[in-house]
């Protein structure tokens, strides 16, 4: 997938639906893991960057900033 919008299934069973750029998750997207954890937010060249919400399968969540795939705030 080059640029645009699409759905991708990772080898580990996770699913990504959202924007792409140069074959990277880039822009707004939603990623769902096999344990039903969900990230909904912004990616930059394959990493979580910017505002986003991560919801763990136990119901807890973090809503805020991300930088280089890590919580930043």
pTM: 0.91
pLDDT digits (tens, 9 = 90+) for 24-65: 999 999 999 999 999 999 999 999 999 999 999 999 999 999
Mean pLDDT (whole number) for 6-35? 96
What is the band of 73 on the pLDDT scale with cuts at 50, 70, 90? confident
Confidence of residue 22 (pLDDT cuts 50, 70, 90): very high
Would you tell me how many other CB atoms lie within 10 Å of the CB of residue 69? 13
**pLDDT at 9 > cutoff 80:** yes
What secondary structure letter does DSSP report for 3? S
* Cα separation, 47 vs 40, whole angstroms: 12
């Amino acid at each position: 997938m080059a640029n645009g919008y699409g759905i991708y299934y990772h080898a580990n069973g996770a699913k990504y639906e959202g924007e792409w750029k140069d074959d990277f998750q880039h822009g707004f997207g939603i990623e769902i893991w096999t344990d039903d954890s969900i990230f909904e937010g912004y990616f930059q060249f394959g990493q979580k960057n910017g505002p986003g919400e991560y919801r763990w399968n136990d119901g807890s969540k973090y809503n805020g900033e991300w930088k280089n795939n890590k919580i930043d705030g």
